[in-house]
Amino acid sequence: MNSNEPPQVRGSSQAPTLEVRDLSRTYGSGDAAVQALRHVSFEIAPGDMVCIMGRSGSGKSTLLRQLGLLDTPTSGQVFLDGADVTRIRESRRRVLRLGHLGYVFQEYALLPELTAEENVYLPSLMTGSPLRQSRSRARELLAMLDLEERARHRPSELSGGQQQRVAIARAMVNRPTVLFADEPTGNLDTVSSEMVMTALARMNEELGVTILFVSHDPDHLRFAKNTIILRDGELAESAY
């Protein structure tokens, strides 16, 4: 799909939380250039839960990095709540990443010397929130994810699925507008994967956060409200 006009979310009259216009990303130059994304356009409605699928090398993680302001596209635009954030200063990107966007990675990325509770509330402290308020929010999220009894455990004392749920709580602590999850169950067994995906769905339904997650597992489509499929860097198919 190479249209510059982003498809509209079916049945939605709300302004999009995320809008992507003609997005392309090329790595390298000359004969060594690799076009990871090619003229991708779509919109994501508030409160949506979108699964991004495609074969390895199709551009899934590259797309998530552009949307999450972790990388800058070669061309095209990304809008967050109507504001063009494509090429804003890095200082402004840091503010948005910390206060308005949440991230869950395949490898958990928890600090080993901190407890689960401390890992969760650390980003809240970084925004200037008082310790008591930050701790209370962390405990609330851990309870939602059935981890209240593990709050004082360090990552080495937690299973992979528990660590990933702690990472979800951490991503939610600053009440983000959008949560990005890049292969969040890639390192987990079937039972743990189910728990993590259920946790993400609960965040979406109960807290209203918009979620975009990358997955290779077709079974995860049942957790999504909409789907984006990439092929060779292009939008091959979607529910939009």
Q: Is residue 102 domain-resident?
A: no
The DSSP symbol for 32 reads G
**Cβ atoms within 10 Å of 34's Cβ, excluding its own:** 12
What is the token pair recorded at 18? 């995320």
Mean pLDDT for the chain overall: 91
**What pLDDT, on the 0 to 100 scale, is given for residue 239?**
55
Residues 29-43 pLDDT 10s:
888 889 999 999 999
Does residue 89 form part of some domain? no
What value does the CA radius of gyration of the chain take, rounded to a whole number of Å? 18
pLDDT digits (tens, 9 = 90+) for 107-119: 999 999 999 999 9
> What's the maximum distance between 2 C-alpha atoms anywhere in the chain?
56
Domain assignment present for residue 208? The answer is no
Indicate whether 156 belongs to any domain.
yes
* Total structural domains within the chain: 1
Give kind and range of the element (H or E) at residue 171.
Answer: helix 160-172
Distances (CA, A) of 135 to 12, 37, 99, 130, 179: 36, 40, 17, 9, 21
Per-residue pLDDT of 43-57, as tens digits, reads 999 999 999 999 999
Range of the domain at 120: 110-174
Residue 222 DSSP label: G
Q: How far is CA 79 from the centre of its chain?
A: 15
What gap in Å lies between CA 204 and CA 217, rounded to an integer? 19
- Scan for tokens 């939610």, then name that residue: 172
Q: Please list the residues that pair with 49 across neighbouring strands.
A: 211
- Residue-wise pLDDT tens digits, 86-102: 999 999 999 999 999 99
Whole-angstrom distance, CA of residue 41 vs CA of residue 128: 36
The answer to whether position 184 is within a domain reads: no
The answer to whether position 186 is within a domain reads: no
Q: Which two tokens stand for residue 43?
A: 């919109």
Rounded-to-integer distance, Cα 60 and Cα 37, Å: 9
Closest CA to 24 of 78, 85, 86, 75: 75
Q: List the structure tokens of 238.
A: 């979607």
What is the C-alpha to C-alpha distance for residues 106 and 24, in angstroms, rounded to an integer?
24
Instruction: Please state the rounded mean pLDDT for residues 194-220.
Output: 95
Q: Is position 129 within any domain?
A: yes
Give residue 3's pLDDT. 39
What distance in Å separates the CA atoms of residue 31 and residue 118, rounded to the nearest whole number?
48
206: in domain = no
